[in-house]
Structure 1
Amino acid sequence: MTVLDFVLPAELEAHDPPEARGLTRDGVRLLVGRRATGEVGHHRFTDLPDLLQPGDVLVVNTSATMPAAVRVPGSDLSVHFSTELPDGQWLVELRRGLAQYSAARAGDVLALPGGATVTLTAPYSRGRLWHAQVTTDTGLRTDTPISDYLREHGQPIRYGYVPRPWPLASYQTVFGTEPGSAEMPSAARPFTHELVTRLVSAGVLIVPVLLHTGVASPEAHERPYPERFAVSEHTARVVNQATGRVLAVGTTAVRALESAARPDGTVAAKAGWTDLIITPERGVRVVDGLLTGLHEPRASHLDMLAAISGTALLDRAYTEAVAAGYLWHEFGDLNLLLP
């Protein structure tokens, strides 16, 4: 395991969407690292079409963000709906205000607006995530997606570094078509329709995968848990026939692609749940590069980044990002790691 530890100054946390800071969505900064040379360069996200090459393949996640936080009436607790499991239960997290809540116990029943109830059945990880049975009196069953319920009663998940609520549209990407993610696949947030047009005009191919990402507590830095994914035959064919580099947009796209990889490095059409953990020791079979946000110190995602970029380049990139005042979190700046 590779642990990248550094001090993240509070002023480098992005508290608001870039649009609230006087920028366009694609006006955020872009730190580019090249593994072959060890070079790190500073750009704007609007430079992306000039940084890629004809024949490159961008793999994007089409999961849309759900308003997955529901307040418990009469208390300061919220339930964060994370991941629907194959057996129809959910993984959920409880928060008190914006802070982690650790006093829950198996058997606790939480009454939610609209007649819904959440019954905690067993702890999943360190008492933070719980297996839960979810029922409502509106006709939804425990094995039925509850996206309709969340659209009526939920709010986007946010943490303490985002002091005020923002509408669900602030947490959607231009690629999101299928609601299912508890948190935004945020590496794709800066893309706009105009930028996508420029990329396609430059000969860059864009193909979809699906991975519904669950809650990733900023306090815990836990390993990934099972998340639903799908890689289509079309995407597998384009990736396998790529003449350029295969570049994942976000760690979710990496997990989906690598979960569908064969031992020889080709990709098969595949769907299901994945709990794949990517480390430098495991390496990657399909992905050549990654476009991603900036991750917190000691975050488990940094192992995946090191598997793609190497530890030396990753350390240099993060040293430069801190020194140059890049912004972290889902409303912050981006990092492009190239071969």
Structure 2
Amino acid sequence: MSGARGSEKPSVYIRDIPPELVARVPAEQRGPGLGRDSVRLLVSPGAGAVSLHAFRELPGLLRAGDVLVVNTSATLPAALDSRLGGEDVVVHFSTRGEDRRWAVELRDRAVRGTTRPRAGGPAGAVVELPGGRALVLEEPLAAGADRLWWARPSWDDVPALLRAYGRPIRYAYTERDQPLSAYQTVFAVPAADGAGSAEMPSAGRPFTAELVAALVSRGVQFAPLTLHTGVASQEAHEPPYPERYAVPGTTAWLVNAARAAGGRVIAVGTTAVRALESATGPDGVVRAAGGWTDLVVTPGRGVRAVDGLLTGLHEPGASHLMMLEAVAGAEAVRRGYAAARAGLCLWHEFGDVHLLLKDEKRY
């Protein structure tokens, strides 16, 4: 594993999210004639004025020679109705370990098909799953925390059970359940071993095949990598736990070549930043790499390969805000979030997106 979890804290750029600024359904369900790309794009340069655009304008905002680094991890139907000690619970399958165990989060059922947090454990408890399967809870994923637990399944093919009985993880701010297809990005590639992300790499969601073609025609290149995301800390905003990633040699070459030629490397999502920076040495050179990463990108650590980040709007206190500061600086993030509130932008995975760019005069 690389890097460290770090002790830095994100700045607070917004105190709360007004209910009217929560994206409760996908963009394409908000009215006739709308598509995935019917969201807005906030642009925050490291220096200079913030601007607000339609996401479909992205090709005109990038330059020939720029590279978009995209996460190809497919989203799993990772939520499973289960029973524990005679009570109904929902199991969120987060991450598959090296020893057949899975990191899981247990949640209580709530209203309208949503869930609420509950303590994990106890050790030795048996969770009854559909299809006659079971999980044995063994130990917390991290000492002193009880949200995620390592659990040992009674069978080998967990992804097959999720495909048969699972559904996408859904949080209380959404209006209703959505099909798995609503949580797949245009870049998603099913893994041969059934691995995938517990939660959608959502920054890639607004892209369509037509928009990708327009970007390629513009001279923008795409560099794929994979990072399988675990279950987010929706309530506590914990730093991300170790996750499995892979940066292929072709992507490393493309990023290095673009940087040498003066192109910008823009990560689509915080997951793409985490994976790419995990494969980048102190010399700024990206090399093929894979395995597990526990890297947490903070302003103190900074970024070595990334010149920009396309991401959603994050909640107050979210650990990902430190990554935004590392890319563009705290002042650019502050101006961006002020503009997001003033412009009535929408938050969360079905909401609007935010492009943060380094101050090119500083680098």
TM bin (shorter chain): over 0.9
5 Å-filtered alignment, 1:103-142, equals 104-125=121-142, 126-136=145-155, 141=156
Could you tell me how far apart the structure 2 residues matched to 1:311 and 1:296 are?
16
Residues 294 and 149 (structure 1), Cα distance of their counterparts in 2 relative to 1, 3 Å cut: same
Residues 187 and 103 (structure 1), Cα distance of their counterparts in 2 relative to 1, 3 Å cut: closer
1:148 offset after TM fit, Å? 1.6
The question of 1:214 aligning with 2:230 is answered yes
Could you tell me how far apart the structure 1 residues matched to 2:333 and 2:9 are?
11
Could you tell me how far apart the structure 2 residues matched to 1:160 and 1:115 are?
29
The question of 1:167 aligning with 2:179 is answered yes
Report what 2:59 is aligned to: 49
Q: 1:14 touches 1:328 (CA, 8 Å); kept in 2?
A: yes
Q: Quick one: which of 149, 154, 157 aligns to 2:166?
A: 154
For residues 236-295 of structure 1, give each alpha carbon's deviation from its aligned partner in whole angstroms, at most 9, with x where no partner exists. 000010031000000000001000001100100011010101100000010000000111
Report what 1:25 is aligned to: 36
Could you tell me how far apart the structure 1 residues matched to 2:303 and 2:132 are?
45
Q: 2:184 touches 2:205 (CA, 8 Å); kept in 1?
A: yes
Q: 1:2 touches 1:280 (CA, 8 Å); kept in 2?
A: no
Could you tell me how far apart the structure 1 residues matched to 2:338 and 2:235 are?
22
Q: 1:118 touches 1:133 (CA, 8 Å); kept in 2?
A: yes
Report what 2:317 is aligned to: 298
Q: 2:77 touches 2:198 (CA, 8 Å); kept in 1?
A: yes
Q: Which runs of 5+ in 1 are unaligned?
A: none
Q: Give the secondary-structure state (helix, strand or coil) at the position aligned to 1:27.
A: coil
1:217 offset after TM fit, Å? 2.4
5 Å-filtered alignment, 1:181-200, equals 181-200=197-216
Could you tell me how far apart the structure 2 residues matched to 1:240 and 1:200 are?
19
Q: 1:2 touches 1:306 (CA, 8 Å); kept in 2?
A: no
1:124 offset after TM fit, Å? 2.2
Q: 1:71 touches 1:77 (CA, 8 Å); kept in 2?
A: yes
Report what 1:85 is aligned to: 97
Q: 1:25 touches 1:190 (CA, 8 Å); kept in 2?
A: yes
Could you tell me how far apart the structure 1 residues matched to 2:106 and 2:266 are?
35
Q: Structure 2 counterpart of 1:69, which letter?
A: A
TM-score of the superposition, structure 1-length normalised? 0.95
TM-score of the superposition, structure 2-length normalised? 0.89
Report what 1:285 is aligned to: 304
Q: Quick one: which of 250, 272, 279 aligns to 1:234?
A: 250
Report what 2:69 is aligned to: 59
Q: Which runs of 5+ in 2 are unaligned?
A: 1-7, 110-114, 359-363
Q: Give the secondary-structure state (helix, strand or coil) at the position aligned to 2:100.
A: coil
Could you tell me how far apart the structure 1 residues matched to 2:26 and 2:325 are?
27
Q: 2:345 touches 2:352 (CA, 8 Å); kept in 1?
A: yes
Report what 2:3 is aligned to: none
Q: Give the secondary-structure state (helix, strand or coil) at the position aligned to 1:92.
A: strand
Q: 2:121 touches 2:139 (CA, 8 Å); kept in 1?
A: no
Report what 1:315 is aligned to: 334
Q: Structure 1 counterpart of 2:26, which letter?
A: P
1:69 offset after TM fit, Å? 0.3
Q: 2:120 touches 2:149 (CA, 8 Å); kept in 1?
A: no
CA RMSD of aligned residues (A): 1.2
Q: Give the secondary-structure state (helix, strand or coil) at the position aligned to 2:211.
A: helix
The question of 1:255 aligning with 2:267 is answered no
1:28 offset after TM fit, Å? 0.2
Q: Structure 2 counterpart of 1:131, which letter?
A: W
Report what 1:326 is aligned to: 345
Q: 1:156 touches 1:168 (CA, 8 Å); kept in 2?
A: yes
The question of 1:276 aligning with 2:276 is answered no
Could you tell me how far apart the structure 2 residues matched to 1:300 and 1:183 are?
16
Q: Give the secondary-structure state (helix, strand or coil) at the position aligned to 2:174.
A: coil
Q: Give the secondary-structure state (helix, strand or coil) at the position aligned to 1:313.
A: helix
Q: 1:254 touches 1:287 (CA, 8 Å); kept in 2?
A: yes
1:299 offset after TM fit, Å? 0.3
1:10 offset after TM fit, Å? 1.9
Report what 1:337 is aligned to: 356
Equivalent residue pairs, number: 331
1:108 offset after TM fit, Å? 1.2
Report what 2:22 is aligned to: 13
